[in-house]
Amino acid sequence: MAATIQHRQATEPKEELLEVLQRDGVVVLEGLVTPEQLRSMNGELDPFMREAATTVPDMNPLLQMFYGDKTRRMGALPVKSRTFCDVLTHPLLAEICEEILLKAGSSYQMNVAQVLEVGPEAVAQFLHRDEDVWPHMPKPCPTFQIASMTALTDFTEEIGATCFVPGSHLWEDRSRQAEPHEVAIAEMPAGSMALYLGSTLHGAGTNRTADRWRRGIHLSFIVGWIRTEENNYLNIPMEVARDLPERVQALLGYQMHDAIDAGGGVAGSVEFRDPMVLLREQKSET
């Protein structure tokens, strides 16, 4: 019997969605992005994506192979699409991140936010776990990463919809390969989000079309004491970040990770001060 991914409405009770996510390691949330937000985001992103490259220069050759040469990529989304900020701060995502990630730290932050356009004839990625970016994390450990792929166009098998291995987050042998019948394809309409744990095996599928691009947003969150994949402070420096909503600033990592009450320390201070305070001061001076 082939593996399947649970599709649920984003309006369903958080507790039910959490149950599916923690059981299967992945759940598709349909309707998370409204049609109006979808049109707005695509319109805001179109000019940037026309200029986006399909190659990643100055990177490790293995990473270049993983990224491929037929996929456009673009980061720094909060300043390129203000509508994306509404997705970044979606109340449901906040509730789920708080429920899961705050068991591993006193705060969480945005790890990466990228538009990915998988182009015609792009071959499938090998199945991987996003949390393997941090290979020295002892196993087992609490969940420290939650990731997602939001469909900005319809995701179908033909156009390279993301593949997942439900239940793989529970495997004790992390070296074992998934059998074909264990792989499920996250076909979903535009506006849906495939939400998954950093320990769940997944990978982009093969785009078998001749002229269609599969556009989606890869967004992930990690606990506040881990270094992020994207350098959000250079992507969105303080002089730019100060004009963003405070919740977005905090998720970009400008919020100091304060674990004093939990018996730990602080991380991310600037001259012994909370960067969020500095951003507010900068804004008041302009």
Could you report the per-residue pLDDT of 227-242, keeping only the tens digit for each? Answer: 999 999 999 999 999 9
For position 133, what pLDDT does the model report? 95
Quickly state the pLDDT bin for 42 (edges 50, 70, 90).
very high
Quickly state the pLDDT bin for 172 (edges 50, 70, 90).
very high
Q: Smallest Cα–Cα separation from 212: which of 116, 120, 115, 117?
A: 120
The number of domains in the chain is 1
d(CA 286, CA 269): 23
Residue 218 maps to a domain: yes
d(CA 206, CA 123): 4
The neighbouring-strand residues paired with 109 are 222
Q: Smallest Cα–Cα separation from 86: which of 41, 24, 128?
A: 41
Quickly state the pLDDT bin for 281 (edges 50, 70, 90).
confident
Please count the helices (runs of H) and the strands (runs of E) in the chain: 9, 12
For position 27, what pLDDT does the model report? 98
d(CA 22, CA 167): 9
When comparing pLDDT for 285 and 147, which is higher? 147
Residue type, position 76, single letter: A
Mean pLDDT along residues 30-47:
98
For position 272, what pLDDT does the model report? 86
- Please give the distance of CA 257 from its chain centroid, rounded to a whole number: 20
Quickly state the pLDDT bin for 283 (edges 50, 70, 90).
confident
The neighbouring-strand residues paired with 268 are none
262 contact partners, CB below 8 Å, separation of at least 6: 106
Could you report the per-residue pLDDT of 68-118, keeping only the tens digit for each? Answer: 788 999 999 999 999 999 999 999 999 999 999 999 999 999 999 999 999
Residue 286 maps to a domain: no
Residue 278 maps to a domain: no
State yes or no: pLDDT of 56 exceeds 90: no
Contact 68, 122 (CB under 8 A): yes
Residue 271 maps to a domain: no
Residue 242 maps to a domain: no
State yes or no: pLDDT of 139 exceeds 90: no
| 117-126, 146-155, 275-284: the lowest-pLDDT one | 275-284
Structure tokens at 226: 């881990």
The structure tokens 């881990």 sit at 226
When comparing pLDDT for 180 and 286, which is higher? 180
Residue 276 maps to a domain: no
Q: What is the dihedral of CA 262, 264, 269, 273, to 10 degrees?
A: 60
Residue 39 maps to a domain: yes
Q: How many CB atoms within 10 Å of residue 282? A: 14
For position 1, what pLDDT does the model report? 72
The range of the structural domain enclosing residue 101 comes to 7-229
When comparing pLDDT for 213 and 281, which is higher? 213
Residue 75 maps to a domain: yes
- Residue 157: which CATH number? 2.60.120.620
| Average pLDDT taken over every residue of the chain | 94
